[in-house]
Structure 1
Amino acid sequence: MVSTATQIGDFHFDNCLMNAAGVYCMTREELAEVDASAAGSFVTKTGTLAARAGNPEPRYVDTDLGSINSMGLPNQGFQYYLEYVTELQNQPGSKHHILSLVGLSPDETHTILKTVQASDYEGLVELNLSCPNVPGKPQIAYDFEMTTEILTEVFTYYTKPLGVKLPPYFDIVHFDQAAEVFNQFPLVFVNCINSIGNGLVIDDESVVIKPKQGFGGLGGDYVKPTALANVHAFYQRLKPSIQIIGTGGVRTGRDAFEHILCGASMVQIGTALQQEGPAIFERVTAELQAIMAEKGYETLEDFRGKLNYID
């Protein structure tokens, strides 16, 4: 019997597939659709201290090889999502879920996480370090000193299971430096990757999205090789207690299989979910199970991280 069940920390999931933050997760209604699907879990929209309308439209466009977006963190405010996942947590037989959060400053981040720490929610939390934080500064996770400062402060008060969402890294030395930072802390997971930032898509003679003069994050087929590289680089470098959620370019069972082969314990679907809807989870699960059956694998652990190299 082929099983796609998995575990993150102490949390068991019947299926390793779920949505990526930003897709089918803005409202309770969207989250409920994912929850009712074949997905093993959902992650909420990244919640900020106050609700945000986000950037002007058009801010998301499907492209031939995926998508481009500059959403601007539209969300209902972290309390909206915290209340929902806490409600679900207390329902018999509920799936486990992931609450995604970020502050627009370090102080806001600590205010949010202290609220979650004091709440009844006991599930997984994802701190999104792949958002620009201060004008003129890079994304938090590209600033290793700032990342270290924030996580050091967080773990003086936060005792619940916590992971981080990461942007893509492109240099081997940055994999080394980032892993050295993350290995200092009791993180439960890292999520690789957020979109590849600041791409530009042109239709005829115009950009296709309005914010930032058309510059936006790329998702879909464009990003899979980069996502796989990040998953495997961190699988090689992080201590075993920090698991990996693979995100980027997943639209088939084969794509999910490759993420797991590179070391992912769970796999998130973003652009393809936006394009196909929550029915995608049943299709991709069946395709993944078929590959596993063909290869004689009964569980994800039979092949997770066991990528072959050429001698």
Structure 2
Amino acid sequence: MTLETTFATFDFTNPFMNASGVHCMTTDELKELEESAAGAYITKSATLEKRAGNPSPRYIDLPLGSINSMGLPNLGFEYYLDYVLEKQKSQTSPLFFSVAGMSPAENLQMLTAIQESDFTGITELNLSCPNVPGKPQLAYDFGATQSLLEEVFAFFKKPLGVKLPPYFDLVHFDQMAEILNQFPLTYVNSVNSIGNGLVIDTEAEAVVIKPKDGFGGIGGQYIKPTALANVRAFYTRLKPEIQIIGTGGIENGQDAFEHLLCGASMLQIGTALQKEGPAIFERITQELEAIMTAKGYHSIDDFRGKLKSL
């Protein structure tokens, strides 16, 4: 029995990671992830300059998940670049470094700095954050996504993945996959939260978060069916060399098993990590092992991507 997984030519002891944005703001939080049972971990999505983010309350736990409108709070690109450059000197497994520029130009500036640095890990470009007021988030603008990736891969030669929002139409899966297949991407991370949900406190007759009049991203078990659909849709549409990170609604071993069955190679945990803390990785690893043992599977590759249709 092994949970080892090969991702971007690197070997990891298990497929579990944090989702960027959860328990990864500071070096202290990152150290706790490093010391946990997670197979890998990723930094907070960085903007060029430090950001305080949106006013509170901006995150609320819900019975089946969460709602948030964080506003990309982070300590700035240089803070995380310095961290990964120092950490990789003593860590054998590669680090994941997330960037989420407030504009295409900012993304290109940060990626240029990563390309010119000594960073040897894996970069994640978050395409599922709003960038221009009045415009949709970048990954919902297919033309802008194509243009940005053309500019990126004109110079970026290190391992790079993109984080995507959920899509809801089969045609959109087809169109985005056609774009992504043109580029030497290492992976696609699917999905970010479902945007612009609304949760109401009926006692107060009010919304539960302050930013955007209460509109925010929905995460947790609420989004698992959507996340599984996106993982499966891209696994069956992308060229084999583009791997999938499954994110959305993973809080136990069964959720993890389902994401892997749909074709994911790595798994990121967001809301459940926020609620439970890094100890979740030991529990969820044991639960996945128990499911695999009961089914007679010796490795993830025995069943990964082998979802049956009726």
TM-score (norm 1): 0.98
Please give the secondary structure, in 2, of the residue aligned with 1:224. Answer: helix
> How far apart, CA to CA, are the structure 2 residues paired with 1:301 and 1:86?
32
2:256 is aligned to 256
For the pair 1:291 / 2:288, whether they are aligned, the reply is: no
1:40 is aligned to 39
Shift, 1:27, TM fit: 0.4
Task: Show the 5 A alignment for 1:1-311.
Answer: 2-91=1-90, 93-204=91-202, 205-310=205-310
Measured against aligned partners, the alpha-carbon deviations of 1:148-172 in whole angstroms (never above 9, x if no partner) come to 0000000111100000000000000
> How far apart, CA to CA, are the structure 2 residues paired with 1:303 and 1:144?
33
Shift, 1:308, TM fit: 0.9
Aligned 8 A contact 1:13 1:96 in 2: no
The one-letter code sitting in structure 2 at the alignment partner of 1:24 is: H
Measured against aligned partners, the alpha-carbon deviations of 1:111-164 in whole angstroms (never above 9, x if no partner) come to 100000010101100000000111111111111100000000001111000000
Measured against aligned partners, the alpha-carbon deviations of 1:177-203 in whole angstroms (never above 9, x if no partner) come to 000000000000000000000000011
> How far apart, CA to CA, are the structure 2 residues paired with 1:97 and 1:288?
23
Aligned 8 A contact 1:224 1:250 in 2: yes
Q: Percent identity?
A: 65
Shift, 1:276, TM fit: 0.4
67-76 vs 5-14, which deviates more? 5-14
Measured against aligned partners, the alpha-carbon deviations of 1:225-271 in whole angstroms (never above 9, x if no partner) come to 00000000000000000000000000000000000000000001100
> How far apart, CA to CA, are the structure 2 residues paired with 1:262 and 1:97?
25
> How far apart, CA to CA, are the structure 2 residues paired with 1:303 and 1:79?
40
TM-score (norm 2): 0.98
Aligned 8 A contact 1:88 1:94 in 2: no
The one-letter code sitting in structure 1 at the alignment partner of 2:228 is: L
The one-letter code sitting in structure 1 at the alignment partner of 2:60 is: V
Shift, 1:73, TM fit: 0.3
> How far apart, CA to CA, are the structure 2 residues paired with 1:291 and 1:209?
37
Shift, 1:95, TM fit: 2.8
The one-letter code sitting in structure 2 at the alignment partner of 1:256 is: A
Please give the secondary structure, in 2, of the residue aligned with 1:231. Answer: helix
Q: Could you list the runs of 5+ residues in structure 1 that have no partner in the other structure?
A: none
Aligned 8 A contact 2:94 2:120 in 1: no
Shift, 1:84, TM fit: 0.9
> How far apart, CA to CA, are the structure 1 residues paired with 2:92 and 2:74?
24
> How far apart, CA to CA, are the structure 1 residues paired with 2:305 and 2:151?
32
Please give the secondary structure, in 2, of the residue aligned with 1:181. Answer: helix
> How far apart, CA to CA, are the structure 2 residues paired with 1:112 and 1:308?
41
Please give the secondary structure, in 2, of the residue aligned with 1:165. Answer: strand
Q: Could you list the runs of 5+ residues in structure 2 that have no partner in the other structure?
A: none
The one-letter code sitting in structure 2 at the alignment partner of 1:62 is: D
Please give the secondary structure, in 2, of the residue aligned with 1:184. Answer: coil
